Amino acid sequence: MLPLEGKTAIVTGGARGIGAGIAAVMARQGARVAILDLDGEQAAATAAALPTPGLGLACDVIVEPELQDAVRRVAEAFGGLDIMVNNAGAGRGPVDLAAIGSVPAAGGRVEHMPPEAWDEQLAQNLRSTFLGTKAALPYLKQRGGGAIVNIASIAGLQAAPTLPAYAAAKAGVISLTKSCALEYAPFDIRVNAICPGFLWTRAWEGMAAMMQRTVPQFAGKSPRDIFLEVVKSGVPLGREQTPEDIGELAAFLASPAARNITGQAIAVDGGITLR
C-alpha cells in the first residue's frame, strides 16, 4: 500500500514550481490531488498529468469566499479532505547577496517600501496560509484528523534586509504553524512547515535576470548560470534544491510515518541556514 493511498490532498499554487512538485510526489504516493491556482488552465493541465485522479481549479486563495468554495468543491468531488498544503505565495524583490558574500542588491528595503507593497506581500504569503488553514479545518475535523503542510522559506528563519516583507510574512507562517499545531492537536490534526532554500523557479529566474543587469560580476552571464553560481557559493552541499525535494518532505509530513511530528519548521536548503 502506498503511503498516501486513499487520501485526498489540496495543493494551493500547485500549477507549476514547488506546488507542482508537491502534487506530483503526493500523487505518486497514492493521494488524489486537487490543485488550486490563479491559473486555472495550467492547474487543470498539471492535475491531468498526475498518476492518480486529479482536479485543477482556478482560485485566488486570498479571497476567502472563493477559497472556501473551492475547498468545498474538492471535498465533494473526492469525498472529503485529509491533507492541506498551503503553498501559494509570491516572493518579490532582489535576493540578499550580502548573505552569500557578494554585492548586496539594491532596493526592497524597509525605507524604500510603500505600505501597499508590504500589505501585498503579507496577503500573498501569510493571509493565504491563514485562509487555507481556516478553510480546511472543518473537513479535517470531519475526517477525525489530518495534516496541514505550510510552505514557508528560509527567509523566515534568518535576517533578509532586502526582502523584509516577504521574510516577515514567512516568519509569520512559521509562527502560525506552531500556534495551529498546538491548538488542533486534540483533533489529531498535525501542522508543519517547510522552509525551502534555493530552487530554480520563475521567481528565481526573475531575480537572476535582475542581478544580470545590476550586479557587475554577473554581467554577460545567463540567469541560469547566475543562479548556479549563487548555489555554488551559498549552499554548503553545493547543489540546488528542487520542487521534488520539497514534495518528498511534504508527502512524508502528511503520511502516517510522521504521526508524531507537529509544529515543526524544517529547512530543505542544503545547509544554507547553518552559516
Give the chain's end-to-end CA distance (angstroms, integer). Answer: 40
pLDDT of residue 255: 98
pLDDT of residue 105: 33
CA distance 22 to 84: 11
Candidates 110, 120, 129, 140; CA nearest to 174 is: 129
**Residue ranges in the chain modelled with pLDDT below 70:** 91-107
Place of cell 487543470: 44
**Spatial contact of 125 and 150, defined as CB atoms under 8 Å apart:** no
139 assigned to active site: no
pLDDT of residue 19: 97
78, 130, 139, 166: the active-site residue: 166
Which amino acid type is present at position 81? L
Place of cell 489540496: 10
pLDDT of residue 93: 41
pLDDT tens across 35-73, in order? 999 999 999 999 999 999 999 999 999 999 999 999 999
Which CATH architecture does the domain made up of 8-91+118-198+241-274 adopt? 3-Layer(aba) Sandwich (3.40)
Enumerate the H helices of the chain as residue ranges. 17-28, 40-48, 64-78, 115-122, 128-143, 164-184, 202-214, 223-234, 243-254
pLDDT of residue 146: 98
β-sheet with 8-12: strand ranges across = 54-58, 32-37, 8-12, 83-86, 146-151, 189-196, 265-268
